Amino acid sequence: MPKSKQIGYAYSQEYIKLADLLPSNVGRASLVDDLIRSHDLLALCDDIIAPSFASKDQLTTYHDPKFISYLFKEEDARYSDSDDESDSGSRGSAHSTLSNKDAEERLRERFGLEFDCPEFEGLDKYVKAISGATIACARYLTAQKVNSDTQRVAINWFGGRHHARKDKCSGFCYINDIVLGILELRRRFEKVMYIDLDLHHGDGVETAFAYSNKVLNLSVHRYDRGFFPGSGNSKFCGRGCGQNYTINLGLKAGLSDTSLRRILQDVIRPAYERYQPDAVVLQCGADGLARDPLKEWNLSIRGLGSVVVDVIDFGKPTLVLGGGGYNHEDTARLWCLILGDLLVGKEVTDKWDMIPEASSYIDHYAEDGYAFFPDEARTIDDLNSKDDFLDRLVEYTNLQIAKIDATL
């Protein structure tokens, strides 16, 4: 008999404003929040999880202290790389060989604050808020009573920053809140399964746990030469004690609802059943939707949303996070639909024909005739379904799953 769900949702007005600052998705958080509140879903959540600023001590449970100090613009971080190599370790020696401008440029390069991760006003607060919300969600799950008949689900749509490294920003990700959340869950739960459904490979999370058999890392992503981040080859399955506990499904262009559904049934579910985790972390990037400007996959809002809900229905304490998604309106539709399916049921959300008139951003949906489910038809072919590619990938992955030690 399925467990009833207790839904905790990370939310505050201040948090929305800070999440809006992300340069790759300016204003997206407000759009998501507006659509959720327009459907009166916020009031239906069992618990509102108050996001709090993560402390430096919390952030450095994974991230390098010098990296965090630099993000926070603390004085002890404002020195050049040559300090680490100097015999004396004095700051004076570094500044005697490099101008302040050169030193600052080298620091930005060292810590990844360039190109797709530019510095912006409020970066320090943004980092603290995103990571603090995910940690708060993880703590919401660890507070669940043992053997409870109720499944706790904690949602932070503005987390899911899976590219950030221990000491470097990457791919629009300034902090790896996912790793911090998993580490928090591991204080209570012995084994955690991480499932990444973003278009891009979850390289930062994989790097953090590549040597661990206590985190089963499964990433479903687009993989091709020159496609960011360049990692995620299906042949990489972890290292050392973590051998076979990293599962990469490197996919081709055009992934369809049908192919993703098969991956759920033939890979994700078998891996879950073999590993028997105590908790699940689920990254729900929306950049694989058909109308995303990246135009790589062909997933529908209903198709991706139903897979997410089915994973949550596995029944374990589950931390649900956002991720990519550059068509902001469709991202809002997806995340609102998922929350709605959990709170009021699919039978109700299937009747969500139109964007509610109460929406403050209703004009954003005018091009689609204000439809909640727009016409998502695209002519892109699902290359994964051709030449037995997906058949062979599933077969290869199942051989790896069979090597997972279920007795850990």
In whole angstroms, what is the distance from residue 354 CA to residue 370 CA? 6
In whole angstroms, what is the distance from residue 151 CA to residue 141 CA? 9
Radius of gyration over alpha carbons of the chain, in Å?
21
In contact, 271 and 218? CB cutoff 8 Å: yes
Give CA 248 to chain center in angstroms.
Answer: 16
Q: Shortest CA distance to 377 belongs to which of 286, 285, 303?
A: 303
Torsion-angle region of residue 136: left (phi > 0), alpha (psi -120 to 50) or beta? Answer: alpha
- For residue 190, CA distances in Å to 206, 212, 268 come to 18, 12, 20
Other CB atoms within 10 A of residue 402 CB: 10
Amino acid letter, residue 294: L
- For residue 124, CA distances in Å to 73, 119, 127, 128, 175 come to 8, 10, 5, 6, 10
Q: Which of 39, 163, 221, 364 is catalytic?
A: 163
In contact, 357 and 168? CB cutoff 8 Å: no
Q: Please provide the distance, in angstroms rounded to a whole number, between the alpha carbons at the two ends of the chain.
A: 26
Matching residue, tokens 């629009």: 172
Q: Shortest CA distance to 25 belongs to which of 159, 138, 156?
A: 159
Residue 266 DSSP symbol: I
Q: How many CA atoms lie within 13 A of 43 on its CB side?
A: 4
As separate numbers, helices (DSSP H) first and strands (DSSP E) second, the chain gives 15, 8
Active site residue 201: no
In contact, 7 and 342? CB cutoff 8 Å: yes
Name the phi and psi angles at 106, rounded to 5.
Answer: -70, -35
Q: Which residues are catalytic?
A: 163
